[in-house]
Structure 1
């Protein structure tokens, strides 16, 4: 009898970062028994549809029938864009981490200034214009993790950010009504990527469709 292959996971980073920011999370998910790939994309230069096409080609090249998707921040929006523009052939679950499903007060505040609009790029511009609201929910089991540690650049740039927040997004902004489960953890927006607890919860949802409450 042959052993089943490890389940495959693809991780997606957020705005301004590259796949390197996901190194710790990727390592921990591998320790949980997953085969992990990291997808890097130009989060500022390209819009959501262009990056979705790139992600679709990346997934098509994987030798796996089941591919789970985990997106941090804007990466979670890109996962939704994938299912709108180029739905993948593989089955799998989705987890979003601090993703602005409900928009972003901080981004709206910064977008008043031309320099910040250029720095945030066209993907964020589409988010602020409400483009993701026009998309159907991905036909997958979706888990959402939101943070409540109010620490990060967003709090410095926009001091009126309502609590609870993760230093960039409020819990309400991170929520996704179509998700199967939501989990709130005492983590900051970027700090969550280095959390043992978060990695364990992501692994639990990818295996069972439930967080380990």
Structure 2
């Protein structure tokens, strides 16, 4: 039976932003399901019940940015959910310096909305039963770098160090930007490899 993969988008993005990865998953024999939620007006608290309903049946997860934070927080609160593997794309699981910087500005705090707290604080170390993998980027192209004050490798929005949550099964860094992770063939290849094997592939 084909495995189901729930896809979660990031901040300010529609669920269609994960459609390219959904097509790649479908071609690889998975059953992708896009999960949409209000990232600003609703936030994680409003999104969690819907995500819980989607994850009552066995599934894997592929999530970009804020979507990874939402998935990990949900699974940490509900470790009984039958989720096998989780792949995050550029998710600041250790907390986002860019979000902290934006929250200090009136317009920035409003633009983060109800997701601000989760973005600033991140997640606890991963101890869940599922295997959690992270694909990070190190091409610094994105306006988040103006708020994050990055001096170390980053994807323009999230620092690589912010993606290295304790408890990850594997971590890989690719030469792509934060938004580039949404359409990167290598990110797709690595995500598929992790979903099959619980580890990322050697560099191509």
Aligned match for 2:114, one of 110, 115, 122: 122
CA distance, structure 1, for counterparts of residue 84 and residue 174 of structure 2: 24
Q: Residues 173, 131 of structure 1: CA spacing in aligned structure 2 closer, same or farther, 3 A cutoff?
A: closer
Q: Residues 179, 86 of structure 1: CA spacing in aligned structure 2 closer, same or farther, 3 A cutoff?
A: same
CA distance, structure 1, for counterparts of residue 18 and residue 126 of structure 2: 28
Aligned to 1:138: 128
Q: Are 1:19 and 2:9 matched, yes or no? A: no
Q: Are 1:82 and 2:71 matched, yes or no? A: no
Asked if structure 1 preserves the Cα contact closer than 8 Å seen for 2:2 and 2:31, the reply is yes
TM-score (norm 1): 0.88
CA distance, structure 2, for counterparts of residue 178 and residue 158 of structure 1: 28
How far residue 23 of structure 1 moved from its aligned partner, in angstroms, is: 1.1
Alignment partner of 1:93: what SS? strand
Aligned to 2:44: 48
Alignment partner of 1:158: what SS? helix
Q: Are 1:201 and 2:190 matched, yes or no? A: yes
User: Which 5+ residue runs of structure 2 have no aligned equivalent?
Assistant: none
Asked if structure 2 preserves the Cα contact closer than 8 Å seen for 1:151 and 1:167, the reply is yes
CA distance, structure 2, for counterparts of residue 173 and residue 162 of structure 1: 13
Aligned match for 1:160, one of 120, 145, 149: 149
Alignment partner of 2:98: what SS? helix
Alignment partner of 2:166: what SS? coil
Aligned length: 202
Aligned match for 2:5, one of 5, 9, 34: 9
Asked if structure 2 preserves the Cα contact closer than 8 Å seen for 1:52 and 1:85, the reply is no
C-alpha RMSD over aligned residues: 1.8
Q: Are 1:36 and 2:28 matched, yes or no? A: no
CA distance, structure 1, for counterparts of residue 189 and residue 33 of structure 2: 17
TM-score (norm 2): 0.91
Q: Residues 136, 92 of structure 1: CA spacing in aligned structure 2 closer, same or farther, 3 A cutoff?
A: closer
User: Which 5+ residue runs of structure 1 have no aligned equivalent?
Assistant: none
Higher-Rg structure is: 1
CA distance, structure 2, for counterparts of residue 190 and residue 138 of structure 1: 28
How far residue 114 of structure 1 moved from its aligned partner, in angstroms, is: 1.9
After superposition, the C-alpha distances for 1:125-180 in whole angstroms (9 at most, x for unaligned) are 2332x3633x763321111111001111213x337322310011110011111101
